[in-house]
Amino acid sequence: MRYVRGFGRFWFDFLIGDDWRIAAGVAAVLGAGAVLVRLEVLDDTLIMLLVGAALVGVVVASVVAGGIAGARATARSDETRSRGR
């Protein structure tokens, strides 16, 4: 059982990693792409390009959101230190 648990933890850490929002965004984009392919709404090549662009967008949005959150945390910490003086 220990090996199964370790295997599960490895895949969870590998797929989810530090930011679960990237994994959720990728799953949502791939799911939407699969639905578009299944419904044959657009040409497959166009869907491939849209899904690729959406995946890049998910990663960029997550990195930008993390940077903004980090900057806010740093600003709050600096503000707290300056008030303490």
Question: What is the pLDDT of the chain when averaged over all its residues?
Answer: 88
pLDDT of residue 39: 95
pLDDT of residue 15: 80
**pTM over 0.75, yes/no:** no
Q: Tens digit of pLDDT for each residue in 25-66?
A: 999 999 999 999 999 999 999 999 999 999 999 999 988 988
First vs last C-alpha separation in the chain: 54
Amino acid code (one letter) for 79: E
How many Å apart are CA 29 and CA 54, to the nearest integer? 7
Residue 85 above 60 pLDDT? no
